[in-house]
Amino acid sequence: MTGYEPITLKRAKHLRREMTPQENILWNRIRNRQLSNFKFRKQQPLGPYIADFVCQEMKLVVEADGSQHSDSGHDARRDKWMEERGYTVLRFWNNEINENLEGVLTAILDALSQHPSPTSPKQ
């Protein structure tokens, strides 16, 4: 048992099959440990929510957003829920992914490098 509601799992499976063009572009650059050997999962349930991409090792969530997310109260509640559980949430607009993919990847790498792995030994 995964602990997720069946409806959340069903929705995540659907979202994995029906990713947006920008999600596909980003996924093709971060999947299979292509980004500095960090493992990302796509359309990953986190509690009652689904993250576009998550690196569990570093507790980093990456979202690819369209204009429907502008000033979204739902997204603010979702981000707060994730941050309360130790996740960092990065959001990129679709046009950023289309026009500046290298900059998006650099921002993700910067976020990954700013947080030591929660699984690494403390010094």
What pLDDT, in 10s, does the model give residues 57-68? 999 999 998 766
| C-alpha span between 103 and 82 (Å, rounded) | 24
pLDDT > 70? residue 70:
no
Contact between 40 and 55 (Cβ < 8 Å): yes
In this structure, the chain runs to a length of 123
Q: Give the count of alpha carbons within 13 A of 2, CB side only.
A: 12
The yes-or-no verdict on residue 107 having pLDDT over 80 is yes
Residue-level pLDDT at 18: 87
Average pLDDT over all residues of the chain: 86
For the entire predicted model, the pTM comes to 0.83
Are 90 and 60 contacting, i.e. CB atoms less than 8 angstroms apart? Answer: yes
Q: Which residues pair with 51 in a beta bridge?
A: 44
Task: For 26-48, write each residue's pLDDT tens digit.
Answer: 999 999 999 999 999 999 999 99
